[in-house]
Amino acid sequence: MRPADPARATIVIPCFDEARRLPRDGVLALAHSADVLLVDSGSTDGTPALLAELAADSPHVRALTLARNRGKGEAVRHGLLAALDTGAQRLAYFDADFATPGEEMLRLLDLLDRSPDTSVLLASRVALLGRDIRRSASRHYLGRVYATVASLALDLPVYDTQCGAKALRRTPALEAALARPFRTRWAFDVELLGRLLATPGFRSEEIVEEPLRAWADVAGGRLIPWEMARALGEILALWRALAQDRARGWSS
């Protein structure tokens, strides 16, 4: 891949059978302000062809194809590693359905750029007055259970680990955290934060949450209640592993 423009961030979008949900216009609009890396994780529909078309339509859109589906977490990890290999200094990832609007992802990156002490900026779906957060009641309450368990596992009071939008600054801690495959398939966001927190020299104060101005459930999402239960099971298994990582230092 060509070297990254240091003035532009790289946004990774993991894709698996997203031919009907990935908004073509949304991707191209995003590419006006950032480099976009679309990662196909073994799709079986028309996604590979769509990603190739998008990459041909804009010099700031690239497509990366993985040979088989290994879960969203590995798609994100491979995308972030590919971005780091090009020299990207500011990175992000968010979901292919654009539940987080593209302009909100760009706003998060702008906030990260203006906050030199912040290494990780997490989007949070908080239904505040003046915000447009449209989320089903079932997902909201399942999410609160998930977030509580995640906070306990991380020993960090995080409100919304499972929101798909996150902005990241290139640091040695991030490079170390991405060096190995994730243990988990659904709870990789929590695992990534846990790895960062276990890295010597990384401070929890480098992680900041930012409430989104807008977010909306999009039909066709894969994290149904059964998958949420599986994710909770992964976090419970991860809890002990993260404690061990903290005890020895992840990169040791």
Residue 4 counted as domain residue: no
Look at strands 90-93 and 207-211 and give their pairing: unpaired
Residue 90 counted as domain residue: yes
pLDDT score of 252: 46
Residue 88 counted as domain residue: yes
Look at strands 35-41 and 90-93 and give their pairing: unpaired
pLDDT of the chain, 252 residues: tens digit per residue: 677 777 799 999 999 999 999 999 999 999 999 999 999 999 999 999 999 999 999 999 999 999 899 899 999 999 999 999 999 999 999 999 999 999 999 999 999 999 999 999 999 999 999 999 998 887 788 888 888 888 988 989 999 998 999 999 999 999 999 999 998 888 899 999 999 998 999 999 999 999 999 999 887 655 555 666 777 778 878 877 777 766 665 554
Residue 2 counted as domain residue: no
pLDDT score of 1: 67
CATH code, domain carrying 77: 3.90.550.10
Residue 3 counted as domain residue: no
Instruction: Kindly tell me the sign of the dihedral angle through the C-alpha atoms of 183, 239, 162, 140.
Output: positive
Residue 134 counted as domain residue: yes
Strand partners, 169: 90
Number of structural domains, the chain? 1
pTM of the predicted model, to two decimals? 0.92
Name the residue range of residue 239's domain. Answer: 10-248
Cβ(39)–Cβ(12) below 8 Å: yes
